[in-house]
């Protein structure tokens, strides 16, 4: 078994308003010289430290937990997960 860090990003689905991202964009970033920035999405990141056989089983296990424990609300949110080695995270 190896320790992995599975990073889960929770963010709003398209079409769900994101006032935090909009505020950061309109009232901070675009007030500088960053006119090429088109959109900012805010979100939450959770890092799971998990012992598993390999990266795939680590990611699958964390995704299963996120679904079963309603770590995100599928009505309005989506998640993406990436796996890293403990030493690199």
Partner 1 sequence: MKVGVIVFPGSNCDRDMYHVLTDVFNLKAKFFWHEKNLPKNIDAVVLPGGFSYGDRLRAGVIAANSPIISDIKKMAEKGIPILGVCNGFQILVEAGLLPGVLLKNESLNFMCEWTNLIVKNNKTPFTNKLKLNQKIPIPIANGEGRYYVDKKTLNRLKINNQIVFSYENKVNGSVSQIAGVCNSDGNVVGMMPHPERAAEKEINQIDHKPSSLIFESLIQTIGVKN
- Determine the Cα–Cα distance for residues 13 and 3; give it in Å rounded to an integer: 30
The residue from 16, 28, 37, 49 that contacts partner 1 (CB under 8 A) is 16
Q: Looking at residues 50 to 69 of the shown chain, list those that interact with partner 1 (rule: CB under 8 A).
A: 69
3-state secondary structure (DSSP) of residue 72: coil
Burial of 69 (C-beta count, 10 Å sphere; 0-12/13-18/19+): exposed
The residue from 29, 40, 65, 71 that contacts partner 1 (CB under 8 A) is 71
19 near partner 1, judged by CB under 8 A: yes
49 near partner 1, judged by CB under 8 A: no
Size of the site for partner 1 (CB under 8 A): 12
Position of tokens 């403990």?
86
The residue from 1, 2, 3, 23 that contacts partner 1 (CB under 8 A) is 23
By CB under 8 A, name the binding residues for partner 1: 16-17, 19-20, 23, 44, 69-71, 73, 75-76
């Amino acid at each position: 078994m190896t320790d992995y860090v599975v990073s889960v990003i929770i963010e709003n689905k398209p079409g769900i308003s994101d006032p935090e991202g909009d505020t950061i964009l309109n009232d901070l970033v675009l007030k500088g010289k960053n006119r090429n920035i088109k959109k900012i999405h805010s979100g939450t990141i959770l890092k799971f430290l998990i012992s598993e056989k390999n990266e795939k089983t680590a990611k699958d296990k964390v995704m299963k937990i996120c679904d079963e424990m309603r770590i995100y609300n599928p009505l309005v949110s989506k998640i993406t997960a990436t796996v890293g080695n403990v030493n690199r995270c």
